[in-house]
Structure 1
């Protein structure tokens, strides 16, 4: 497809979302009604209304045994009417456990379509972006923003050694992996003093500001006025949608659902467990939903656990913003602090850190029940905005950070913290620089993929916590209860 045909396809899909979705479900049922999983509910029928009436809305634990059977060698028709060609393994950092999801050729066809579509949208707004690398890098793409931050942080630490390698044309001796050495040696080629000098001039500046959710403030520091673009929203379960306004602020991103990737239903979040799922075109503006996905790959009425809010419509197709993960909360009493609460609190506290010349490079948190009353613990990795590498912590600033975060939490937290004393003072533990890199290495060693990895917002892994605790250099507590 060329640029115009892809954008035309988006107009057609979004204008006919209802019919596209009906056709999608019919196609999936025609192919998979006789799978072992669906046969229990449909008895071989491909009737769409029977599907909605009889097939239950499920979570991963409900379908895990079927996934594992096929992954262990049983026929694809246990779950899918089309051959399963491979399995996708989730990172395990969002919910704490890795999950496996089936894939087949339909997935890759849809993935190519989404990638071409998002590239066409981006090319429409930014000229030359499709040209890739010229004299200078035109764009950098990563699946998760934190991956780019990790790469920049690594470059900050090792740029001098990189320059030496380029200047000499030789790889550092401590890099012992033969495959890595061979690949890098081919890129290095012969000594290149001119390139080494150029990199040295850029990286040797006193501050890297202007050279390059919680990642946004850090990326804005490095990127200066360069656009930060979130092109699409994809999950392990489905390719969901694209951002038709790529130059909007990262905080304002909404994704237009692409109705030919899966069959979508939505579970209303605010209406209790007795709520009924609704079709894609029947969602309401401003309401919160958990997507329920049926696809060609073996998932049927699968509840994703992502909380999305309807922000508008593109033609007849709704647009959503990602709010939080459904199951990512911390609690020490009866309060529930969500992912959105945590991110909002961290965003508020960045202004306090900036006034002290500090940047928050990464964080995670846990509920600490080893004290009475229990309290929240936040692990922070900080970096000075100037480039001397020395983090100077002012007790008043850090205590204020604790208080500002507590003020940002919901009324139930504040009430039980202030009035009843059933929640203890919030604690911030500052860690050595490089700690989150070590945490990433641990999760990768346990099977997570580097390109998928993202720092868990709330951590419950004993081994991961041990890595954090071993690198704590300072602790601070809020010194007053938050207002009501």
Structure 2
């Protein structure tokens, strides 16, 4: 019965992902037509918001006028508007309903609309699931969730916290049937209790085929924790505790593996023979220590780098496994590009004007009411998918 439920959930993931990939294939041909339609929709539908009124949206008739009349912006330009959104006021930055507030690394609050959240789910989760399913990685196991999902809720009903954690709880049926770690147990835990719980639930379940991480370091930290604390973890699995029932057979298997294991060597497929794939959401943070994780995984575990993003949302989406190159999303973000070495904010390029091999600062207009926003993220154009640029983060 459980295998049937698992198959049903994974088939639903595959169907969602296939729908998004088909849409991506459509919009990446003639992307500038999609871009102009997108930006004019933003202007038309948000003309009566406070921000739209302050910036003359009603007088903007085309994309060029939008770029001429609306100034480039940074977070400070939105602070007063965001306070109004947090207090429950509507039609401030956007007419679209605000459902979530994410937080940047310096604790700035970023409101996100319903449509922005849906776009993030489509191009981060569903797109990644399509790639995993396309390679046969969703068929025979559960999902290990290492994403921070400590989400609070304001009196207005708006959720606050990590955007990925918010997206993770989007489909409650999936939560109960597919994830190794119960979401309600892990979400309020603090370190090192969180590492203990992650390691305990992960070790207890042998049949894991996919892992979700905010950053690859989440998986690396858990594996290091297992190497240091496997005797206690194994004893708890053997005897059972308030989190997991007793499983002497699984405890015996773990002991056999760990007693012969050398620290820092291949471990993942020994503990979880069906582990095929790790989906990583923060491709900004890849570093030389990523090779340590590759060593733990061996050559049978693949990676999906789901795209470039920030608390504002998803800016690009993945195309292939083991490839940090991702493609722009013409129907969900309006893009402008400032050449990396340029000091001229008045000469920005659109996605049809960027050149392969050159780097640019990313300027975005979003479904959450951020217009011509300077992200501070530099990207290197490395190719094209159909007619749309593909990029990697340029450090």
Q: What TM-score does the superposition give when structure 1 sets the normalisation length? A: 0.58
Q: Is it true that 1:109 corresponds to 2:118 in the alignment?
A: yes
> Aligned match of 1:87 in 98, 101, 105?
101
Q: Which residue of 1 is the match for residue 260 of structure 2?
A: 205
Query: Is contact 1:232–1:242 with CA below 8 Å preserved after alignment?
Result: yes
- How many residues are paired up? 297
SS of aligned partner of 1:57: coil
Aligned 1:72-471 pairs, distance under 5 A: 72-73=87-88, 75-90=89-104, 92=105, 97-114=106-123, 115-124=125-134, 126-133=135-142, 136-170=207-241, 185=242, 187-189=243-245, 191-208=246-263, 209-212=265-268, 213-214=286-287, 215-225=289-299, 226-248=301-323, 253-274=324-345, 276-324=347-395
Gaps of 5+ in 1: 171-184, 325-484
Cα distance 1:265–1:273, how it changes in 2: closer, same or farther (>3 A)? same
Give, in whole Å, the separation in 2 of the partners of 1:65 and 1:149. 40
Q: Which residue of 2 is the match for residue 55 of structure 1?
A: 70
Give, in whole Å, the separation in 1 of the partners of 2:227 and 2:244. 20
Larger RCO (alpha carbons 8 Å, 6+ apart): 2
Question: CA shift at 1:296, angstroms?
Answer: 1.7
Query: Is contact 2:339–2:348 with CA below 8 Å preserved after alignment?
Result: yes
Cα deviations across residues 79-137 of structure 1 (Å, max 9, x unaligned)? 112222221122x2xxxx2111111210232123212222212322x223354329532
Question: CA shift at 1:288, angstroms?
Answer: 0.9
Query: Is contact 2:17–2:122 with CA below 8 Å preserved after alignment?
Result: no
Cα distance 1:303–1:100, how it changes in 2: closer, same or farther (>3 A)? same
SS of aligned partner of 1:232: coil
Give, in whole Å, the separation in 2 of the partners of 1:135 and 1:306. 39
CA RMSD of aligned residues (A): 2.0
Question: CA shift at 1:46, angstroms?
Answer: 4.2
> Aligned match of 1:67 in 55, 67, 82?
82
Q: Which residue of 2 is the match for residue 33 of structure 1?
A: 47
Question: CA shift at 1:5, angstroms?
Answer: 4.2
SS of aligned partner of 1:103: strand
Query: Is contact 2:44–2:58 with CA below 8 Å preserved after alignment?
Result: no
Give, in whole Å, the separation in 1 of the partners of 2:261 and 2:140. 32
Cα distance 1:137–1:85, how it changes in 2: closer, same or farther (>3 A)? closer
Highest Rg: 1 or 2?
1
Q: Is it true that 1:7 corresponds to 2:26 in the alignment?
A: no
Cα distance 1:10–1:168, how it changes in 2: closer, same or farther (>3 A)? same
SS of aligned partner of 2:37: helix
Cα distance 1:194–1:8, how it changes in 2: closer, same or farther (>3 A)? same
Query: Is contact 2:137–2:210 with CA below 8 Å preserved after alignment?
Result: no
